[in-house]
Structure 1
Amino acid sequence: MKARLFTLLALLLLTATSSLAATARNIDARDARLLLQQKPDLFLLDVRTPQEYFEIRIDGSTLIPIDQVVRRIREIPRDRPILVYCAVGSRSSQVAGYLARIGYPEVYNLYGGIWGWQLRGYPVLKGAP
């Protein structure tokens, strides 16, 4: 009985540790801008709709709408840090968490999204690319 309890507790601890390790880091617009400057190989992933993307976006971003991420996963490089953003940080948080859980080693979520980015006065592009 004690051996089974110990094994169960060990498995629970291992599972909890694994899920803690597999999380994306939330960063605000200020930290995201610094990250872009410090990591020139950063993959900037926009998970909004095409319409939202064409209205306003961060320069250098790649559009993969949230409903296409699983199907287009091979387009997201595993060997580069990834910054995911959306309008306010909700959709991007889901995608960033997913990427971290499936093994992407360095994933960031832009908390506040492009709205937070724009409120700080950081540069954006508007219109079709």
Structure 2
Amino acid sequence: MSATVKKDLAEAREVCPTTSRRLLAEGALLVDVREPAEVDQLAFADCEQLRIPLSELERRWAEIPRDRDVILACAVGQRSLKATYWLMYQGYERVMNMQYGMQRWAACGFPVTGQAEGAPMVAGSCCDSAEPAAEGSACCDAAKAPASGCCG
């Protein structure tokens, strides 16, 4: 009789778009797990990125470096959270999920290519104002306690 091996995983690290933007500027890699049609419509801009749709992750995961911070993103953060856990199961330690994904990134006014118009706002976001969130703003700085309704 063979023993079943259970691999306990830590809780996935999640970061808001403002923190993601700072980490990307510091050298993290963005892995966009959305499908090509979604990326063609609206894409992240001004950051190094790798596009691996979730439907191809099991085949292409070795393309993702293990030696640097990696932020996984999708439309609203659900598929990228699955991808984050999957990579953690494969032994990746420097992966994190972008909370609320492209939806919040675009709502914050961060760089995109394509049409962001009509992108729904996430209720209670720190990016509800017409002005883009300030880089490194306290509401989304992972080192500080989030402000009410921000990033969570």
Bin of the TM-score, shorter chain as denominator length? 0.7 to 0.9
Instruction: State the distance in 2 between where 1:76 and 1:58 align.
Output: 18
TM-score (norm 1): 0.77
Instruction: State the distance in 2 between where 1:97 and 1:113 align.
Output: 16
Following superposition, which runs of at least 4 residues in structure 1 exceed 4 angstroms of deviation? none
TM-score (norm 2): 0.66
- Number of aligned residues: 108
Unaligned runs of at least 5 residues, structure 2: 1-5, 116-152
Unaligned runs of at least 5 residues, structure 1: 1-14
CA shift for structure 1 position 108 = 1.1
Q: Aligned residue for 1:12?
A: none
> 1 or 2 for the larger relative contact order (CA 8 Å, sep ≥6)?
1
User: Match of 2:43, as an amino acid?
Assistant: R
Instruction: State the distance in 1 between where 2:9 and 2:61 align.
Output: 21
Identity of aligned residues (%): 34
Instruction: State the distance in 2 between where 1:89 and 1:51 align.
Output: 17
* 1:31 and 2:19 correspond: yes
Structure with the largest fraction of helix: 1
Instruction: State the distance in 2 between where 1:69 and 1:87 align.
Output: 16
1:96-115 → structure 2 map (5 Å cutoff): 96-115=84-103
Task: Write the deviation string for residues 69-102 of structure 1: whole angstroms up to 9, x where unpaired.
Answer: 0101121111121100000000000001111121
